[in-house]
Structure 1
Amino acid sequence: MLNKPGHKKRWQLLYAVAIVASLGLGVVLGAQQFSAASPLAAAQLLPAPKTLPEFTLENHRSEAVGVNVFRHRWSLVFFGFTSCPDFCPLELQKLAKLLNLMGAGDELQVVFVSVDPERDGQEKLANYVGFFHPQILGLRGSNLALANFAQFFGAAYDRSAIVESKLITIPAGINLPTNVGEQYQVNHSTRVFVVNPQGEFIGSFTSPYELEEMLSDMQKLMGR
């Protein structure tokens, strides 16, 4: 019964509503932090830098990492998930092109934070980020650790699932119910957050933006 076309269309509609609502929340929460005026083309800067708090996550090589992973280089941080059908791969393609254009070596890294720990194991995450660029660092962790890390940046996300023909929302930080399975949608904000070599969150880029604008802004921020 659940496989009938009518039910499938209803699921798609419910998921679409959840995605729009969640992304809207991410835009609102993110926009509240940033200064309206910026001397840059696309980046929105915070009124003052925010020092990253202590945290423990795991990189795509199964190594425990903390704030030191952001020291001594610039970082662009993006929250998503490897099963994302559209926005995540397009964004990572754009960020990979930026890395190539910058020729930054160890000066710049892209950090992809998976907010889908149930499906994004170490091997899957490693294969995913490696496909786009060797300078993309994958991070994963427990639901609680990820929620705390995302909350610092103002990155909103949640999961939507159909259980017994009803749409349920699982907030950030909460483990998935055992009856959800693997058929669920992750809804996440789409900002790219900027962290300086001192480990300070200083601003973000929000879609839509042009690659050339991001390139120009990062060159200015990095003093090039």
Structure 2
Amino acid sequence: MKINRTLLLAGGALLLLLAFFQIQTGLDKASTTSGLASKPAGAPFTLQSRDGEVSLSDFEGQLALVYFGYTWCPDICPASMMFMARALQNLPEELRANIQPIFISVDPQRDTPERLAAYVDFFEAGILGLTGDESTLQELARAYGAFYRYTEVDSAMGYTVDHTSDFYLVTHEGRLLATLPHTISGNQLTATLSQALQNNL
């Protein structure tokens, strides 16, 4: 299925100005009752890509920058991916090669590996699109302190997915180094990635 590049560009450009300064009302309250670990520590994982199974351990010698979302997301996900791409582009080349950006879809019913690959390729940042079965995704989200839930809507989409919009910096062993809010500035994200790479590689 083709991704509408025009809509993504328009929505992403607008939301880069707005989305990172908005408070997602309701999500913080919901996450306190969703069974999240009190101190998320991260976890290793093996998920599905267009080219087959991918494990976090495949990226030995690198750090991963992980984001949980879904391709049908109308606003925050495309903005977050553009934000991630720009922050990575600002890293020195020798550091950029040691970061693997990963987009994990929490909507496996609609986000096939093929659709995911088309979606992340649009951002031209080497982002890897992964997903898995529902039970695996729920367990992984809890381990990282992420939250998501399906919400029925009266439209052709059928449902949307409410989700946290943080970035998770993790080692190839699955150890969570930092949870970075979507309100972080581009300069702050770049600086955080640089420091983490210097301290953990």
Q: Is the TM-score greater than 0.5? A: yes
Give SS of 1:223's match: helix
2 CA distance for matches of 1:31 and 1:206?
18
Q: Which residue of 1 aligns with 2:12?
A: none
Q: Which residue of 2 aligns with 1:71?
A: 60
How well do the aligned residues superpose, as a CA RMSD in angstroms? 2.7
Pairwise mapping of residues 1-224 of structure 1 onto structure 2 (< 5 A)? 20-26=25-31, 33=39, 50=41, 52-53=43-44, 55-59=45-49, 61-102=50-91, 103=93, 104-162=95-153, 182-223=157-198
Question: Quick one: structure 1 residues 119 and 197, their matched pair in 2 at CA, closer, same or farther if it must change by over 3 Å?
Answer: closer
Report how many residues are paired. Answer: 173
2 CA distance for matches of 1:216 and 1:151?
27
Q: Which runs of 4+ in 1 moved over 2 A?
A: 19-33, 50-53, 103-106, 196-199
Q: How many percent of aligned residue pairs carry the same amino acid?
A: 29
1 CA distance for matches of 2:56 and 2:172?
11
2 CA distance for matches of 1:65 and 1:156?
22
1 CA distance for matches of 2:111 and 2:138?
15
1 CA distance for matches of 2:194 and 2:176?
17
2 CA distance for matches of 1:27 and 1:213?
27
2 CA distance for matches of 1:57 and 1:197?
14
Structure 2 gaps of 5+ residues are 1-23
Q: Which residue of 2 aligns with 1:6?
A: none
2 CA distance for matches of 1:125 and 1:67?
17
2 CA distance for matches of 1:56 and 1:20?
32
What per-residue deviation string (whole Å, max 9, x for no partner) do you get for residues 106-160 of structure 1? 3011110000111111221111000012410111111111111111101010101
1:99 Cα offset (Å): 1.6
Q: Which residue of 2 aligns with 1:11?
A: none
Higher strand share: 1
Q: Which has the larger radius of gyration?
A: 1
